[in-house]
Structure 1
């Protein structure tokens, strides 16, 4: 049996096919430019040629139809029949106050999701559309939703409430929800394995740094605070999002620029962050420009590092004892200059980076330990695997064995767990950089 996971954005649909019995990824793919003059698809099936094509996809219906067709394609596909799909897991941005954990999709669930569209107007309509299309095309296959917000539901009121009129929370659900939950869940539980501790005994700080970025403080294995808020706009400096700022700036600049609240929302989400400072959001481009003397690119890097460092210090204060700091997602995994800058000067917190190890850790698929040998706090780079969390939740829901993450045991929480797809990637990494073997983070047997 295989599990299909779908992550539908406003103009894209990412997908993965996972062989549950053999614990291996069979295919990954993405459809982009949905709703534009033409769409594109790229699919990589294990042992097959990469499939790339342009096609017409006015809506997610055409996109997902093509995805299902290509999964069973003799030349490019990964399964013989759609009957092999046992469940579909959908990533959903927001669970609001309704969904505290993953759940199977019903008509009632979809209606509840539609009610909370105002909490995520940029993402929720596409998430819901993907679910509805998949249900229509695969009516007999169980469908599950996995919320970005679910992991953060363990926060206490003092952490998730804002100091605004309480009626805003009661009447309009204004509170901190947090996002990147599946990523933070995966990294928290993998960090416990690498530390040789029970999840419930582990205190870690996780920095998910990609185009979107968020931090999470994990105490005794659960989230106690996170940087994103009602929406993904709050917190760290991101590729195109502002992160933390004085709220009074908004009415001030609305007046000065003559823009509407909706236009200001677009400015803060799409035209701020690094792209607002230096005109670039891809960290590779920003780093290259800084090395070539671009002062605004260097300013953007300095601002990003400053904000990450500030959150690490704040979370260390909340946790008291810190077992590990974890970096994940594209920049967290590849941006050694960001990690170096963010961790420098934190020795008084017991966080000591080994710069040579840090420079070596510049690859995908490999869990590494980059802290100095005498560092009281471990520093891990853990490639996140949100799709695996979605896969396991979907399988367990279909199988009737699922429970909230504080009671549920994932396969990747075992020291003996082997991700076959990543193992293949690690072999390739070691061929390119044999020295990488010296910093691989191995599970500690209890």
Structure 2
């Protein structure tokens, strides 16, 4: 059995999944939160799949506990304790590789990369481009290499899939020397999700990936859209950081840069104030006081003005980007929705594509409303464009890429 341990390490959290790569299903997974705080939260889940079962893994046992966890080294020790106490036993399911999710690879990393000391340094150096994400990834990598010294460790970058962007798509129109000196360009994010979903869509349709023009909408608390031509990212909504683009749970997305200058001069807001405003107090939260789309939709149903406006702004931006990406691709064959909102909010899907009937696109209302745990078509048989709901699985994609190297 080929087993890969997938690690997603944040500044104060450690998410892990032990993947059986023959079935491409998790054997066990967990989340350790509040690292470095007074009391850490630990959730460990053991999953069971019967012999010969083709369906996704069935939840077996979930274990919760709490204790203080000083740092990422201790978090890895706690993870090993959870596997030893609750299973699956790592001696029987020893990983052949450890795959680490890294948010920002800059322009240096364009593929899954074996981790050594130099790669660690490079990822740490890129922390200035992702100060909320890369430092946690580096801490997880260092703790992981100490915990599993004899296993290959592989970095899988959110930005790597977007290294195929053409210069016209990734270049900002500012002074060239300034941009080059400070590495200012569009990098794009959610790459593992966009790659996974586009490949799943092609397989579901039974069509070669190389022949398809696709638009993938990753709609979660973070929101991004990518135009994919023949399996290659050619346009994406997030930029140098995950802040650019679409309206998100707490992030503003696109905004006139002069607004920041205005707020600095008029309101006396500092760089840190503006950073907090755009990343933590904007988006749906800033417009309606709630960042969860389920709460926004409930507010819309109740006739709340703030929730209604937030929803309309959200949809307006999505439609604008879909239209732009259709133009960039010269047409589109497949549009896929994924992530928490994309997979579960039928109204968001329907409203986003409601104005594209002129392209021959038709959504089947019944199929759109019908819940299903797997990939499914929600367009009509006569629609000129296939519209799909494709559950994403970034852990599996990271495991696949890590295994590909070993």
TM-score by length of 1: 0.86
Unmatched 5+ residue regions in structure 2?
49-59
Q: Which residue of 1 aligns with 2:14?
A: 13
Write the distance in 1 (CA, Å) between the matches of 2:280 and 2:368: 31
Secondary structure at the residue paired with 1:259? coil
Runs of 4+ in 1 over 3 A off after TM superposition: none
1:69 paired to 2:81: yes
Task: Report the CA distance between 1:349 and its aligned residue.
Answer: 2.1
Write the distance in 2 (CA, Å) between the matches of 1:257 and 1:29: 44
Q: Which residue of 1 aligns with 2:171?
A: 161
Q: Which residue of 2 aligns with 1:396?
A: 404
Of residues 79, 85, 105, the one that matches 2:95 is 85
Task: Report the CA distance between 1:356 and its aligned residue.
Answer: 1.3
Write the distance in 2 (CA, Å) between the matches of 1:394 and 1:44: 22
Write the distance in 1 (CA, Å) between the matches of 2:363 and 2:338: 16
Task: Report the CA distance between 1:350 and its aligned residue.
Answer: 2.6
Write the distance in 1 (CA, Å) between the matches of 2:20 and 2:201: 25
What's the CA shift string for 1:196-252, capped at 9, x where partnerless? Answer: 221111111000000000000011221100000000000010000000110100111
Of residues 180, 188, 194, the one that matches 2:204 is 194
Q: Summarize the alignment of residues 212-223 of structure 1 with structure 2, pairs less than 5 Å apart.
A: 212-223=222-233
Task: Report the CA distance between 1:83 and its aligned residue.
Answer: 7.0
Q: Which residue of 2 aligns with 1:406?
A: none
Secondary structure at the residue paired with 2:4? strand
Range that drifts further, 14-23 or 367-376: 14-23
Task: Report the CA distance between 1:136 and its aligned residue.
Answer: 1.0
Task: Report the CA distance between 1:147 and its aligned residue.
Answer: 0.2
Instruction: Indicate if the aligned counterparts of 1:152 and 1:177 stay in contact, CA closer than 8 A.
Output: yes
Of residues 92, 104, 113, the one that matches 2:114 is 104
What's the CA shift string for 1:111-132, capped at 9, x where partnerless? Answer: 1111111110111100110001
What's the CA shift string for 1:305-363, capped at 9, x where partnerless? Answer: 11111111000011113111000000000011111110101111232111111111x34
Secondary structure at the residue paired with 1:17? strand
Q: Which residue of 2 aligns with 1:36?
A: 37
Secondary structure at the residue paired with 2:61? coil
Q: Which residue of 1 aligns with 2:296?
A: 286
Q: Which residue of 2 aligns with 1:149?
A: 159
Task: Report the CA distance between 1:82 and its aligned residue.
Answer: 7.5
Q: Which residue of 1 aligns with 2:128?
A: 118
1:343 paired to 2:353: yes
1:371 paired to 2:379: yes
Instruction: Indicate if the aligned counterparts of 1:110 and 1:128 stay in contact, CA closer than 8 A.
Output: yes
Instruction: Indicate if the aligned counterparts of 1:68 and 1:82 stay in contact, CA closer than 8 A.
Output: no
1:275 paired to 2:276: no
Q: Which residue of 1 aligns with 2:331?
A: 321
Count how many residue pairs are aligned between Structure 1 and Structure 2.
394
Secondary structure at the residue paired with 1:389? helix
Write the distance in 2 (CA, Å) between the matches of 1:183 and 1:303: 24
Write the distance in 2 (CA, Å) between the matches of 1:83 and 1:218: 36
What's the CA shift string for 1:44-96, capped at 9, x where partnerless? Answer: 111442110111112222222111211222xx211242871211000001111
How big is the alpha-carbon RMSD for the aligned residues of Structure 1 and Structure 2? 1.3
What's the CA shift string for 1:290-312, capped at 9, x where partnerless? Answer: 21222101111111111111111
Q: Which residue of 2 aligns with 1:205?
A: 215
Range that drifts further, 299-308 or 224-233: 299-308
Write the distance in 2 (CA, Å) between the matches of 1:377 and 1:131: 42
Write the distance in 1 (CA, Å) between the matches of 2:209 and 2:123: 31
1:227 paired to 2:237: yes
Q: Summarize the alignment of residues 236-247 of structure 1 with structure 2, pairs less than 5 Å apart.
A: 236-247=246-257
Write the distance in 2 (CA, Å) between the matches of 1:80 and 1:123: 28
What's the CA shift string for 1:226-285, capped at 9, x where partnerless? Answer: 000000000010000000110100111122332211221111011100000011001111
Unmatched 5+ residue regions in structure 1?
399-446
Instruction: Indicate if the aligned counterparts of 1:87 and 1:141 stay in contact, CA closer than 8 A.
Output: yes
Q: Summarize the alignment of residues 40-55 of structure 1 with structure 2, pairs less than 5 Å apart.
A: 40-47=41-48, 48-55=60-67
Secondary structure at the residue paired with 1:388? helix
Secondary structure at the residue paired with 1:348? helix
Q: Which residue of 2 aligns with 1:180?
A: 190
1:331 paired to 2:341: yes
